[in-house]
Every structure is written in structure tokens, then in C-alpha cells.
Amino acid sequence: MAATSLLALIDDIATLLDDVAVLTKVAAKKTAGVLGDDLALNAQQVTGVTADRELPVVWAVAKGSFRNKAILVPAALAISAFAPWAVIPLLMMGGAFLCFEGFEKLAHKFLHRDVEDAAHHEELVGALADPGIDPVAYEADKIKGAIRTDFILSAEIIAITLGTVADAPFTTQLTVLVGIAILITIGVYGVVAGIVKLDDLGLHLTRRSGDTGSASFQRKIGRGILIAAPWLMRGLSVLGTAAMFL
């Protein structure tokens, strides 16, 4: 009897894990559009921070992202348990917001003048060079802005995930939501950390000395990285914008 009960328990656990795996994959696919924009936005948030502070800033924002999801996941579970009727309206609001963001990006692209972008760039450069600006306060402001942006994007992701698992048992909902929250946070900020350090890697490779074929090849790779890094950011932004309408 004990052996039979144990096998039944193992079978229930295996079924639950299979359901979780399937729903997690589905939720990950549905949130892919938001993730593209999430990567681009979070990488842009650290623009203007000195090179030696980029990774600490990314880590600080990642911790803030975990705190955001620690608020959003229980809230999503509470909505699913006590107001399941609200799931569909929330998804509709999330979809409308994504469309608005996509339209705003397109409008900015076609209606915004290049001179305004150049002025913004000069402002960032000036912030780094101006000795009168407190770098600690400037960095803290960047972190707060990035965490606020992350909260909105995380809410979109959690809402989409909740819609995917709305009819699943509570245990499955909890596991999928927590799994998605952890995987997305680690994945997004791991990639963001790599993106913001790409230029440092390229610069390091371009400074390789020597006349050997290996050194020459590394310098070429470094120059290629420096050229490709801005295009990578633009590509992520374009893909994220396109995915918002899908």
C-alpha cells in the first residue's frame, strides 16, 4: 500500500511538472515580444554611467527587478484566486498598452528630429564631464528610472503569463509564475550585462599588440564589435517594437 501510494504521488508530481514545463514554454513564447523591448530599454537605461559602474548599476536594477516581481507574482495569484474575471480585462489593458508603446516608438522614429537626439546625447556626455554633478545621485536616479521601467514591463509579462495559466491549478500557477519571473530576470539582466560591456570587450581587443595573425584577427574582431554594438541595440529595439503588434 505504501509503495502504491508512493508511486501515485510520484505520478502526480511528474504530471504536475509536465504541465508546468508546457505552460512555462507557452508563457515564454507569449512574452517574447515584451522581452525584446525589455532588453533594449534596460540596456539604454545605463547610458551615461561610467564604464566601471555599468555592472554594479545593472546588478542594482536586477535586484530591484526581483523586488518588483516579488510584489507582482502574489498580486497576480490573488487576482486569479479572488477575481478571476479580472484576468481578461488585464490582458486587454496589457495588449492595449503594448500597442500604444509600439505606436509611440514608430511616431518617435518618424516625427522626432535627429537634432533632438543629438542634443540628448550631448546632455548625457555633459553629465559625465560636469564636475558639478554628483555621480552618486546621477547613478541613483538612473537606477530608480530603470526599476520603474522594469516594473511596467514585468507587470506586462506577469499579466501575459497569468492569462496562460488562468485555468491551471494553484500549484501550477505558482510554479509557472515564479519560474517565469526568475528565468526572465536572470536572462534579461544577464544579457543586458553582456550588451553594456560589449564596447569594453571590443576596445580591449582593438588594443591587442603584436604583428601575429592572431593579434591582427583579434583587432579586427574588436573593431567589428564596436561597429556592431550600436546596431545590436537598434535591432533589439526594432524587433521589440514589431513584436508588440503580433
Using the 8-state DSSP alphabet, how is residue 129 labeled? Answer: H
Q: Region 224-238: what's the mean pLDDT?
A: 73
pTM above 0.75, yes or no: no
Q: Which three cell numbers stand for residue 156?
A: 506586462
Q: Region 219-223: what's the mean pLDDT?
A: 82
What's at 80, amino acid-wise?
S
Question: 11 pLDDT band (50/70/90 cuts)?
Answer: very low
CB 163 within 8 A of CB 87: yes
**228 pLDDT higher than 60:** yes
CA distance 129 to 183: 37
Q: Could you read off the pLDDT of 39-78 as tens digits, one per residue?
A: 555 555 555 555 666 777 778 888 888 999 999 999 988 9
Report in angstroms the alpha-carbon separations of 88 from 22, 34, 35, 67: 21, 18, 21, 25
Question: 117 pLDDT band (50/70/90 cuts)?
Answer: low
Report for 16-20, 58-62, 75-79, 199-203: range of highest mean pLDDT: 75-79
Q: What number of CA atoms fall less than 13 Å from residue 12's CA on the CB side? A: 8
Q: Which three cell numbers stand for residue 3?
A: 509503495
CA dihedral 132, 138, 139, 142 (to 10 degrees): -160
CA distance 82 to 221: 56
Q: Could you read off the pLDDT of 128-162 as tens digits, one per residue?
A: 555 555 666 766 777 777 787 778 778 878 888 88
